[in-house]
Structure 1
Amino acid sequence: MNEFWAGVVSSVVVSAAFSLLGWVASPSARLRVRRMLLKSMNAEIVERFETQRSAAAEIAARLAGAQEVRILAGRGNELQRDTFRALWAQADRKELKILLPDPESSGPGTWIDDHQQEALAYDGGQGDRMIEENIRSNVQYVRNRVARLERAEVRLYDLPIVARLIITEKWAFITPYSDRRHGADSPCVMVKSGNPVYELAERMFAQFQKASRVP
């Protein structure tokens, strides 16, 4: 009976603590406090970022400390930006696998064209095969980056462009793509290994990899 009431009191205290998080002014402070509370309950940590863009600093930090990195991207533009600077600086010490759409599988009726038409619905500047050209540029950039790396691999997939995945041995960042906004403006979820959503991300990456080709 005492254990029952101890559990009830603990749940009430934790609930109250989460309510008080709203009074913490700094978003980073709220994030730290929330993680401490979750850890105290032995809970699997799940974080939700309002946009993929707002997750950039957290992604960069997790990539810097990772030994294994798997990336499934829709275009790969961010691979040339600050989020991945630390990754490229340490790439020779990591096992790295990157999947990008196959720019050779483009044109009317293809998955790249499908993605292009979705983009046109929310951004009128996305016409004239712009996504295809973005992908070609990013594929070449990544190939240049990994050319002398022994444990790096780039492959191209011809499948629906539905999400961005960044997976390390400890964490996964998942951005489901929408037909109403850019990926950078879409919510991003961070999950810890052992979480079923982490396992889903791993399985999705593995299936895309199986259906991909070496450029």
Structure 2
Amino acid sequence: MEILRDIGTSLLASALFLVLVWVFSKTARRLLRGLAAHLLHLDVEEVFANSRDAAHDIKRELSRAREISVLTGRGNELQRDLFEELFLRCRARRSRCRILLPKLDVPAGEPDWIADREEEIQVFDSAFGAGLLRRQIAATYDYLAPITMEGHLEIRGYGIPHIGRIIATERVVYLTPYSADRHGRDSPVIKYHRGETYDVLLRLIDKLWVGGPA
């Protein structure tokens, strides 16, 4: 009986320790998630609460990448320091970056996915609903236009629903699934290493790149 009591006490102490680690240490939480993914043979490497939490990790991966692909919505992050060093490398012909942004012009008879996404956003953000999202995307095109370089920093448009942001390198891919009740920047960011999910997301980008207008 005493042995069982000692075991129970030990298990309780261990559980309490894990709870404290979970509460106070982001690094420990990430390590535990990584271990669980490894044991379950998943290709998830890490999960971040939002884009702000993921920014440092993304910047580190971009700093050592040579082939980068990005599919995004409004593209605000492309105008910040997260991509600044990468764009300099592209201009120096030391890296290649493909960027897919939503098409601004919608052919007759095709769905307007920018308007569709704006209808979702205006429900929780009253600043939207009068074409603001389209203007923000246009501003991203304008920002990138002077620094594009054929074969190294290129932009094309896509015409599918705004389901998320994808940032891919040779080693990993980050997926930020968009939801109908929050901005993309507030959504979780899932980091995958090479595997089935990586291959599917890269295949999607490759298909859209071939079909997108330059």
Which string of whole-angstrom CA distances, capped at 9 and with x for unpartnered residues, describes residues 138-176 of structure 1? 0121222224x5422211112211111000000000011
Aligned-pair CA distance for 1:48: 1.1
Aligned-pair CA distance for 1:106: 8.6
Per the alignment, residue 102 of structure 2 pairs with 101
Aligned-pair CA distance for 1:38: 6.5
Residues 119 and 46 (structure 1), Cα distance of their counterparts in 2 relative to 1, 3 Å cut: same
Per the alignment, residue 8 of structure 1 pairs with none
Give the unaligned 5+ runs of structure 1: 1-15
Distance in 2, Cα, partners of 1:62 & 1:37: 20
**RMSD, aligned α-carbons:** 2.8
Distance in 2, Cα, partners of 1:213 & 1:193: 28
Aligned-pair CA distance for 1:211: 2.5
**Aligned with 1:74: secondary structure?**
coil
Distance in 1, Cα, partners of 2:66 & 2:19: 33
TM-score (norm 1): 0.79
Distance in 2, Cα, partners of 1:36 & 1:101: 33
CA contact (8 A) 1:106 1:112 kept: no
Distance in 1, Cα, partners of 2:212 & 2:84: 26
**Aligned with 1:99: secondary structure?**
strand
Distance in 1, Cα, partners of 2:78 & 2:163: 18
User: After superposition, where does 1:61-140 map in structure 2 within 5 Å?
Assistant: 61-91=60-90, 92-105=93-106, 110-140=112-142
CA contact (8 A) 2:165 2:177 kept: yes
Residues 27 and 203 (structure 1), Cα distance of their counterparts in 2 relative to 1, 3 Å cut: same
Which string of whole-angstrom CA distances, capped at 9 and with x for unpartnered residues, describes residues 57-97 of structure 1? 11111011101000001111110012212212322311211
CA contact (8 A) 1:106 1:132 kept: no
**Aligned with 2:82: secondary structure?**
helix
Q: Letter of the 2:18 partner, please give it.
A: L
Residues 37 and 160 (structure 1), Cα distance of their counterparts in 2 relative to 1, 3 Å cut: closer
Per the alignment, residue 3 of structure 1 pairs with none
Per the alignment, residue 198 of structure 1 pairs with 198
Distance in 1, Cα, partners of 2:197 & 2:20: 26
1:165 maps onto 2:146 in alignment: no
Which string of whole-angstrom CA distances, capped at 9 and with x for unpartnered residues, describes residues 74-129 of structure 1? 11111001221221232231121110011122999511110111111111111220
CA contact (8 A) 1:38 1:45 kept: no
Residues 22 and 192 (structure 1), Cα distance of their counterparts in 2 relative to 1, 3 Å cut: farther
Distance in 2, Cα, partners of 1:116 & 1:36: 35
Q: Letter of the 1:81 partner, please give it.
A: R
Q: Specify the structure having the higher radius of gyration (Cα).
A: 2
**Percent of aligned pairs with the same amino acid:** 32
User: After superposition, where does 1:142-181 map in structure 2 within 5 Å?
Assistant: 142-147=144-149, 150-181=151-182
User: Between Structure 1 and Structure 2, how many residues are aligned?
Assistant: 195
